[in-house]
Amino acid sequence: MTATAQDGAPRARKVVLAYSGGVDTSVCIPYLRQEWGVEEVITFAADLGQGDELEPIRLKALAAGASQSLVGDLIEPFITEFAFPAIRANALYEGRYPLSTALARPLIARRLVEVAREVGADAVAHGCTGKGNDQVRFDVAIGALAPELKVLAPAREWGMSREETIAYGERCGIPAPVSKKSPYSIDLNLLGRSIEAGELEDPAVAPPEEVYAMTRSIEAAPAEPQLVEIAFEGGNPVAIDGERLDPVALIRRANDLAGLHGFGRIDMIENRVVGIKSREIYETPGLLLLIRAHQELESLTLAADVQRLKRQLETTWAELVYQGLWFGPLKEAIDAFLDRTQSTVNGSVRVRLHRGNATVVGRSSASDSLYVDSMATYGSDDRFDHRAAEGFIYVWGLPTRLWSARHR
Ligand code: ARG
């Protein structure tokens, strides 16, 4: 219906489209060309460790009419530049969701902008609808990185239902999804999976076991607990059970261990940026395990006041990332604070994985522990000056006593 811009002029000449291989982004290709007068659509598919085969996806875009189909491996920057900062920030949106999807969007946006500049495109496009968070994240990030580029979001304007989209695709030679067996909308990458739609839209209905793929059910988890030891340097996880692993391998190992023991499932009602509440199922085993261990190490190595302020800023950091403000000034300023706190986060944490639980059972830091035996002990080598507490309490309680004397 909405054919082109008001005067009938093409919306853009050459467009780089974020491509997943799904029906919606596939339909964007002929739609941009036929309805919006775009001359050339170049697709870009990101490998974020989701485990899809990229060659069929690359060919699918060409079959749908893309003039060039590019794929790019973004797994390493995804982990080192996005996941690790989130671990250092103990980032949990609304106290629960470790941002597995949200963290990928600014990275994809950054790469889209680079590709657009390399190929001389005047716009970038994505297949997000108008009621999700991902459109916000893409649009804001692209606007921040490349104000000269237009952002096109056909699915926000075309007003087609799922069936109409499939039919439009079939007329353009895009095959309908092989089976309609999965009623769910799934986003996945190396950090985890998000599952929405189908019967999950009723918040009172329990998620069926079939929605999970990275985590075992508690029933299927091993009966025996497993102890894992996670080592950190400068706030980054560097080794599991004494074996040093590169960042990507470490995340994979953490996923396998936590997933095996059924740890890392989340079922929550979440507040979206666009104002609606939605029911979300996540499984993010490794990321949740690493955040839990990292929090624990900080409790041993951060000064009390730093730890308290950090906790407040962590909440804000998670909100900023969720809300698409990765490249904003507040996120950058908080990053400076967070980075400054991490130089002493060195040591290791022992976690017991068992039947859906990850329980911290030990923590140590040879170089940075602020836990002092002679202060903490109740034994005979106690060095704490008990009598000094009296003067401290005299001053500490003075305002309360003065207030009480006046008002009670
Ligand atoms: N609600 C989650 C988030 O905002 C997951 C979004 C999943 N995205 C998707 N296109 N299926 O991060």
SS3 content of the chain, % helix, strand, coil (to 5): 40, 20, 40
Ligand 1: centre distance to CA 216 (Å):
22
What number does the ligand 1 atom closest to the CA of 272 have?
4
Distance 332 CA to ligand 1 centre (A): 23
pTM of the model: 0.96
Burial 358-369 (b: 16+ CB within 10 A, else e): bebeebebeeeb
* Nearest Cα residue to atom 2 of ligand 1: 101
| CA 404 to each of CA 305, 389, 398: distance values in angstroms, whole numbers, following the listed order | 28, 22, 10
86 with 52: CB under 8 angstroms? no
Q: Which residues contact 133 (CB under 8 A, 6 or more apart)?
A: 101, 102, 272, 273, 274, 322, 323, 324
- pLDDT > 70? residue 263: yes
Which residues are CB-neighbours of 74 under 8 A, at least 6 positions away? 46, 47, 48, 107, 108, 111
Question: Which of the residues are catalytic?
Answer: 24, 105, 134, 185
How far apart CA 380 and CA 108 sit, in angstroms, is 59
**% of the chain beyond a pLDDT of 90:** 94
**Cα→Cα distances 85→234, 285, 332, Å:** 11, 17, 12
- Which of 52, 55, 53, 30 shows the shortest CA–CA distance to 41? 30
Q: Please, which pLDDT band fits residue 1 given cuts at 50, 70 and 90?
A: very low
The closest residue, in CA terms, to atom 9 on ligand 1 is: 187
Of 82, 274, 275, the closest CA to residue 190 belongs to 82
**Averaged pLDDT, 111-129:** 97
Burial class (CB in 10 A: 0-12, 13-18, 19+), 159: exposed
For the stretch 42-77, pLDDT in tens is: 999 999 999 888 999 999 999 999 999 999 999 999
Residue of the CA atom closest to atom 10 of ligand 1: 187
- Burial profile 173-183: b = 16 or more Cβ within 10 angstroms, e = fewer: ebeeeeeeeee
**Residue among 187, 268, 323 to mutate when testing ligand 1 (max atoms within 8 A of CB):** 187
- pLDDT above 60 (res 4): no
* Substitution site in 28, 50, 82, 196 for ligand 1 pocket (most atoms within 8 Å of beta carbon): 196
- Give the whole-angstrom CA distance, residue 190 versus residue 248: 9
Ligand 1 atom with minimal separation from the 278 CA = 1
Residue ranges per structural domain of the chain: 14-184, 186-364, 373-407
Handedness of CA 74, 269, 186, 272 (dihedral sign): negative
Question: To test the ligand 1 pocket, which listed residue (184, 194, 278) has its Cβ within 8 A of the most ligand atoms?
Answer: 194
Distance 271 CA to ligand 1 centre (A): 12
Beta strands in 116-164 (DSSP E): 123-125, 150-152
What is the tens place of the pLDDT at every residue in 169-206? 999 999 887 665 678 999 999 999 999 999 999 999 99
Report the relative pairing of strands 277-283 and 265-271 from DSSP bridges: antiparallel
**For residue 201, what is the DSSP state?**
G
Find the 114 Cα to ligand 1 centroid distance in Å.
Answer: 24
* Cα separation, 232 vs 240, whole angstroms: 9
Query: Which tokens hold the place of 187?
Result: 């986003």
In 3-state terms, what secondary structure has residue 362?
strand
- Average pLDDT across the chain, whole number: 96
Q: Which atom of ligand 1 lies at the shortest distance from residue 185's CA?
A: 11
Give the pLDDT band (50/70/90) at residue 12. Answer: very high
Superfamily holding 186-364: Argininosuccinate synthetase, chain A, domain 2 (3.90.1260.10)
Give the side-chain half-sphere CA count within 13 A for 214.
33
Q: How confident is the model at residue 7 (pLDDT cuts 50, 70, 90)?
A: low
Enumerate residues 6+ apart whose C-beta is below 8 A from 281: 194, 195, 196, 200, 207, 211, 265, 266, 267
Is 43 in contact with 54 (CB distance < 8 Å)? no
Q: Give the pLDDT band of residue 9 (cuts 50, 70, 90).
A: confident
CA–CA distances in Å: residue 342 to residues 95, 271, 299: 21, 30, 12
| CA 99–ligand 1 middle distance (angstroms) | 9
Question: Does 5 score more than 70 pLDDT?
Answer: no
101 CA: nearest ligand 1 atom: 12
**What pLDDT score does 180 carry?**
59
Q: Say how many Å lie between the CA of residue 186 and the centre of ligand 1.
A: 8
The topology under which CATH files domain 373-407 is 1.20.5
Q: For the residues 344-352, what does the mean pLDDT come to?
A: 98
Name every protein residue with a CB atom under 6 angstroms from any ligand 1 atom: 101-102, 132-134, 185, 187, 194, 270, 280
In the reported structure, the alpha carbon of residue 133 is separated from the centroid of ligand 1 by a whole-number distance in angstroms of 7
Q: May I ask the CATH class of domain 14-184? A: alpha beta
* pLDDT tier at 2, thresholds 50, 70, 90: very low
Residue of 20, 94, 280, 325 to test ligand 1 pocket, by largest number of atoms within 8 Å of CB: 280
Using one digit for the tens of pLDDT, what is the confidence trace for 301-347? 999 999 999 999 999 999 999 999 999 999 999 999 999 999 999 99
Residue of minimum CA distance from atom 4 in ligand 1: 133
